[in-house]
Chains A and B, each alone.
Chain A
């Protein structure tokens, strides 16, 4: 046992200081695709495997559908670029429409109203937030990224965030996956078992839209009311932590 005590001290403190201090890895993260230009006839048909690119009034990208394959960035660097950084207000969306960038002006106002309502709801949580995770048909990678939050590098306990086994103790529901039929009832039962106030975070592109499986499975919003969306396939642990802090009013 003493052996492990020594080993545990070997690397000193490896935990990130974020959100108090900026984190190099979080800032260098390659996020979902954003739009950097516009064109009259952009000719982007068939470019995106999930149909995330829309050209109705101008070129827009639905980050809730973006699986980060980067094809559009490679083909049309004049129109598309990677969003920089895993954290910040832009790395999590409070409405499904807010994932579509560039956002339309109405969405901004809607988001502000949603943000105020969410903050009022979660004000009582303060520095003790209990999280329950449910996998509703993920590919398994989102679970790894959520598990990483419990590891020494992200260590969410320092922020007063704890994972709990029982939905009865949970304030936040982290949902991953495209919303498989089999998980519809267990997911709903978990949500129904949570006391108010409760917040639901859809983690990942699959949870937002179904991603590549979007023809048949359309995400988790049809099963439970989602408060915060985190794009990414999978999102980085910083992105998930960022969403947890935004959802509970610790970060704006």
Chain B
């Protein structure tokens, strides 16, 4: 262990490992910190393919993807700690942050110039989704069920209702079916599935699993373990339709009702890390720097990504920025342009751009629309897309030229 680092990366999932490797390759003194026994993060428990299509130009499973990243990590001999829990990050000065760590060897107080925060996301739990009823066994978040099956080798249940048709819900529906569980349905409150089209086909259609759109699970009922769920139909405004209740018998409920960036340590920092109420992650500029100088965010803690590849790219982006920070004793001063959300734009990351270089925007829309333009209102720049849908994050590269003429504001909107 060194006295001081250029960069401490917190969380060794896809974003964190990619960031740490990149930092090392850029010649920074970097330390990777991971809370679990193993490096790799959530991809380790993903036995399904769909990883690496962009980053490696290959279709890998999550575990294979993690292995690829870790090969490079080991080859570069990046310094790391496992079973290490970060209890706080202190902002001592512009060039000095203190990361307090607890692990089986004791307490450590690490000085670093920059931090890349890549702790991923947590799953929304039952109580946030407003599902009422009894507190029973047999209720799992989808990720917890996946951990049980593919890390610990435990079968959660036999007759499963999956709540939520985002990618995680779809993939877990198939995962249960592959182990001979009866998946009695996937319940989705929106009129359309939440996940990627390829997953709807490969996970549901190929396994004859029913998707029930515009339905919610109102209640979970039973004595000890789940015995049934009560569903209800909802209208476009997600209001429950009267007398639409139905009962589905099941012994297991897998909740795939969304992810929330796990920002706990950032929230607890004395220096305020400003959060975006829509993404629930920190607001960042195109360097992925948060409102606290030298603290960068990447991966699902920044914004929920559809593809692991994007998380890895964000990690690399943050590493590049850490290098600039270290070399210049801080990021060069700029006039930031705020990216405003216009028509049918739910969220945009980064929230601030400089306007003087090419930038990749991660955009989520509110509702699906066919063949639309994404447009910058102030400059009338248009980018043609085939279609947009809330389940698929748009990653748009905006060229430097397209940004010419912007002053202090840029409004992004989807135009029919």
Our verdict on whether A and B bind, yes or no, reads no
Chain A positions within 8 Å of B, measured between CB atoms, are: none
